[in-house]
Amino acid sequence: MPKKNLSSSGQTGPLSVGNVVSASLRIYRDHFKPYFGLAFVAYLWLLVPIYGWAKYSAISALISRLAFGEVREKPETVSDARLEVNPGMWSFFGAGVLTSLIFLGVYLAGTIAIIILGVGVAAIFGQNYVTIVALMAVAVIALLIIYIRILSRLLIVELPLAIENNIDASSAISRSWQLTKGSVGRIQWIVFVGILVSLPIYIVSNLLTLLIQSVLTALLGAQSSLYWLVYYILVLPLSFGFGALVLPFWQAMKAIIYYDLRSRKEGLGLKMRDR
């Protein structure tokens, strides 16, 4: 069966959830070795505070840029794409920090609102615990929905930084918010299916971690220094390996979402970033 190219499919409407996920898997499969290698190096950089976290952000964006080039049928080599992405390393880090602060602010504001609501509901309804629990459950669900919607609006923050001209960290957040307007529901479904696709890897990773914990506890005891030394020697590479398996899939999926949004809202005449 010939490979379907998204950029030449002639589809005028938004890509379906299935198209986005399957295309992400196909791009990752076709470039597994370089993408996985980049992702594993990115995870190793997480061991280095600040600078390493910035490197992780830049390498993650590099994978997305490479996937974006594949979607546009204008592929880049890793070295060429790296030359374009690396100068913006601290912008990627800054965008990540700003995004994290937004999520933290939403979480804190929502938590405070729920606490105030809980106190008010308790004062009004007294011992009517069924009503109190029901209202609090509705409040928590509402906060979760808001949180997920904001996540969907900020899902592709690194893509404008990696692809477009004259974009900084704050502009990238605004750009992601602008591009995802009107597409939140579809993005949420894409993320949900992406989680289902990734779930087996997370399950295997957690099971292996629990197995290692059980074996080490039986052999060394959970309180010994040797236990923790051996635990981290075994678990860190395992966690990084499984994380590196999943990261390129998600970065490719972001690239396809970004491509789809820009092609529908701004036309197909997209230019790669010229730094």
What band does 61 get if pLDDT is binned at 50, 70 and 90?
A: very high
pLDDT band at 6 (very low <50, low <70, confident <90, very high): low
- What six digits make up the tokens of 187? 């993005």
Share of the chain above pLDDT 70, in %: 92
Cβ atoms of 234 and 205 closer than 8 Å: no
Q: Check whether 233 has a pLDDT greater than 60.
A: yes
Locus of tokens 């690396």: 86
8 A C-beta contact, residue 26 and residue 3? yes
Residues counted in the chain: 275
| Cα separation, 21 vs 27, whole angstroms | 10
CB burial string 68-96: b at 16+ within 10 A, e below: bbbbbeeebebeebbebbeebbebbbbbb
Does residue 44 surpass a pLDDT of 60?
Answer: yes
| Average pLDDT taken over every residue of the chain | 87
For 176-206, the pLDDT digits (tens) are 999 999 899 999 999 999 999 999 999 999 8
pLDDT tier for residue 132 given thresholds of 50, 70 and 90: confident
Q: What is the pTM of this model?
A: 0.85
Contact indicator for 88, 162 with CB cutoff of 8 Å: yes
